[in-house]
């Protein structure tokens, strides 16, 4: 992998698409091994597919989700508390995978 360039991350899909795919896939696999696979698949397909990763500086990433994630999730029935807990953990995992893929961890 080439040296990470924060300015190139602004056009992330042009410059870092394979790395982004790898981070999302690895986060999915980790979460799918740990949590209810139906919920993880729904989050992946309905929320994370519409998410946007941002580089925050100092080796940190942030994932911006669509507004009202609970309302966007229609593939499974899940209470808000469980969704919030699993989604928070998923975002942590994804941010960690991004750090790893880009050589920060």
Q: What is the pLDDT of residues 37-92, one digit of tens each?
A: 999 999 999 999 999 999 999 999 999 998 988 888 887 888 999 999 999 999 99
Helix (H/G/I), strand (E/B), else coil: 70: helix
Q: Please tell me whether the overall predicted TM-score, pTM, comes out greater than 0.75 for this model.
A: yes
Whether residue 3 lies inside any domain: the answer is no
Q: What is the rounded distance in angstroms from the CA atom of residue 92 to the CA atom of residue 71? A: 21
Whether residue 1 lies inside any domain: the answer is no
Whether residue 39 lies inside any domain: the answer is yes
Whether residue 51 lies inside any domain: the answer is yes
Structure token pair of residue 34? 């740990």
> What pLDDT score does 76 carry?
85
> What pLDDT score does 88 carry?
97
**Domain ranges, residue 55:** 8-101
Whether residue 17 lies inside any domain: the answer is yes
Whether residue 24 lies inside any domain: the answer is yes
Answer whether 61's CB lies under 8 Å from 99's CB.
yes
Helix (H/G/I), strand (E/B), else coil: 53: strand
Whether residue 66 lies inside any domain: the answer is yes
In the chain, the number of structural domains is 1
40: which residues sit within 8 A by CB, 6+ positions away? Answer: 28, 31, 32, 86, 90
Whether residue 2 lies inside any domain: the answer is no
């Amino acid at each position: 992998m080439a040296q990470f360039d924060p300015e190139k991350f602004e056009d992330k899909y042009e410059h870092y698409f394979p790395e982004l795919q790898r981070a999302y896939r690895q986060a999915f696999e980790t979460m799918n091994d740990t949590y209810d696979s139906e919920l993880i698949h729904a989050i992946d397909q309905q929320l994370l597919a519409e998410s946007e990763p941002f580089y925050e500086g100092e080796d940190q990433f942030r994932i911006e989700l669509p507004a009202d994630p609970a309302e966007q999730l229609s593939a499974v029935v899940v209470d808000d508390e469980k969704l919030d807990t699993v989604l928070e953990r998923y975002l942590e995992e994804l941010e960690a995978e991004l750090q790893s893929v880009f050589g920060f961890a």
